[in-house]
């Protein structure tokens, strides 16, 4: 048999055993969200999924699947153990996604995931009810010092979430002793604050914008380097004497072992979606704080967060 015929036969056999990249996706993709519907992660996932479908082509369909519980651990574990074929991807939320692994609670490690790209960087905030006696961050800090451990702060995450780490770092920086209450996702902590069940809450900025603007809750400080363009009148913690920076990431990942060419196609679709004028307009209207990072840059960010949390764990374990 001629060499050319042998090579052709091998190529043909390989084509039957390994679908061509151009054919991906051939079936619906599931996008896991590790939190309940209605929170910032869920909103970000549903908005990006529609535009990724458009840019993946081939009649792509992406279904958002909510798997809440255990501060995200249930959904992220499901993602880590899914078949690494590109048909299961999911939203990840550093630093809480990382913190569960750092403290040894998670059934996964960072090596179980293949980053696709970052979508959002959303600063933490501290808020109180509209009728709260605390008119400023300074007043709240003084009240906590006067009654150690008495003031409860509801958080939209679990132990080790960005919000919880923010409370721990505030306690260290200000000499306070706020007591955290973990609600696991945003909607329950918002309701608890509105109902007067907790006097103070922390969540991400995008998750509180409508309630702050309506006057239903009062924002005491933003945990970012600069004031947010969405709420330019809201002071940062730094302005008020506390150099506290807490930002939550929302991005996409696949299970480790997903073929590189599939990851590349998913990353390209994410990038194209985030550059799509229609998506940019929708994100602006929804006030989603976009911050695209490609897969390698997102891996670098995750590694940095992992290192920082490991150091915080040594000093202030949050278990």
What are 180-197's pLDDT values in tens digits? 999 988 889 999 999 999
Question: HEC string of 101-147?
Answer: HHCCCCCCCHHHEEEEEEEEEEEEEEEEECCCCCCCHHHHHHHHHHC
pTM for the full model?
0.75
| Percent of the chain predicted with pLDDT > 90 | 66
Choose the weakest-confidence range: 19-28, 163-172, 234-243: 19-28
What are 257-310's pLDDT values in tens digits? 999 999 999 999 999 999 999 999 988 887 888 989 999 999 998 998 888 788
Q: Where are the domains of the chain?
A: 27-121+248-315, 123-240
Average pLDDT over every residue of 166-192 = 90
CATH of domain 27-121+248-315: 3.40.190.150
- Name the CATH superfamily for 123-240: Periplasmic binding protein-like II (3.40.190.10)
Predicted confidence at residue 311, as pLDDT, reads 81
The tokens describing 254, both together, are: 């696949």
The 8-class DSSP code of residue 236 comes to B
Domains 27-121+248-315 and 123-240 share a fold: yes
Is 28 or 6 the better-scoring residue by pLDDT? 28
Residue 173's Cβ-count burial label (10 Å; 0-12, 13-18, 19+) is middle
The 8-class DSSP code of residue 96 comes to H
CA dist 55 and 53 (Å) reads 6
What are 215-265's pLDDT values in tens digits? 999 999 999 888 998 999 999 999 999 988 888 899 999 999 999 999 999
């Amino acid at each position: 048999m001629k060499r050319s015929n042998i090579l052709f036969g091998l190529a043909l056999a390989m084509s039957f055993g390994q679908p061509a990249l151009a054919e991906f996706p051939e079936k619906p993709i599931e996008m896991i969200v590790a939190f309940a519907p209605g929170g910032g992660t869920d909103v970000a996932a549903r908005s990006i999924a529609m535009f990724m479908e458009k840019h993946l082509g081939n009649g792509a369909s992406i279904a958002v699947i909510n798997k809440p519980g255990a501060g995200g651990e249930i959904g992220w574990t499901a993602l880590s153990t899914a078949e690494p074929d590109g048909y299961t991807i999911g939203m990840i939320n550093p630093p809480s996604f990382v913190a569960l692994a750092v403290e040894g609670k998670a059934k996964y490690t960072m090596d179980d995931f293949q980053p696709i790209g970052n979508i959002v960087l959303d600063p933490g905030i501290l808020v109180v009810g509209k009728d709260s006696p605390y008119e400023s961050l300074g007043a709240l800090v003084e009240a906590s010092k006067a009654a150690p451990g008495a003031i409860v702060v509801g958080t939209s995450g679990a132990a080790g979430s960005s919000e919880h780490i923010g409370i721990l770092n505030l306690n260290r920086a200000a000499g306070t002793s706020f007591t955290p209450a973990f609600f696991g996702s945003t909607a329950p902590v918002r309701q608890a604050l509105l109902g007067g069940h907790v006097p103070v809450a922390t969540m991400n900025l995008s998750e509180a914008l409508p309630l702050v603007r309506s006057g239903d809750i009062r924002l005491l400080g933003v945990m970012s380097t600069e004031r947010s363009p969405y709420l330019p009148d809201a002071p940062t913690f730094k302005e008020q004497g506390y150099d506290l920076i807490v930002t939550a990431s929302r991005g996409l990942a696949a299970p480790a072992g997903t073929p590189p060419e599939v990851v590349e196609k998913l990353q390209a679709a994410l990038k194209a979606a985030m550059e799509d004028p229609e998506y940019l307009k929708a994100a602006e209207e929804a006030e989603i704080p976009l911050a695209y990072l490609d897969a390698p840059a997102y891996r670098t960010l995750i590694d940095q967060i992992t290192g920082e949390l490991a150091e915080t764990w040594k000093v202030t374990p949050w278990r």
